[in-house]
Amino acid sequence: MKTTANIPDPDGFYEAWVAAHEGLSDEESSDLDTRLVLLLANQVGDQQVLLACLAEALASTA
């Protein structure tokens, strides 16, 4: 699992992600994020990495 920045333009991606949510309801925004997570998970494709990322995300919410 990569924990250091690995996106060439993280600010640009964040701006695009925020812009994609403009005008959406809370439910539509949540649906968009869910679809994005599933698409990105499919790109990763490694079950162990995905489970490690899930565990890290859960640990970060505590």
Residue-wise pLDDT tens digits, 25-41:
999 999 999 999 999 99
The pLDDT of residue 45 is 95
Where residue 35 falls (left for φ over 0; alpha for ψ -120 to 50; beta otherwise) is: alpha
When pLDDT is averaged across residues 9-29 and rounded to a whole number, the result is 97
For the entire predicted model, the pTM comes to 0.84
The pLDDT of residue 44 is 95
Q: What angle do CA 57, 29, 46 make, to 5 degrees?
A: 40
The pLDDT of residue 3 is 87
The pLDDT of residue 47 is 96
The residues, any chain, with a CB within 8 Å of residue 21's CB and separated by 6 or more, are 29, 32
The pLDDT of residue 61 is 83
- The single-letter DSSP state of residue 6 is -
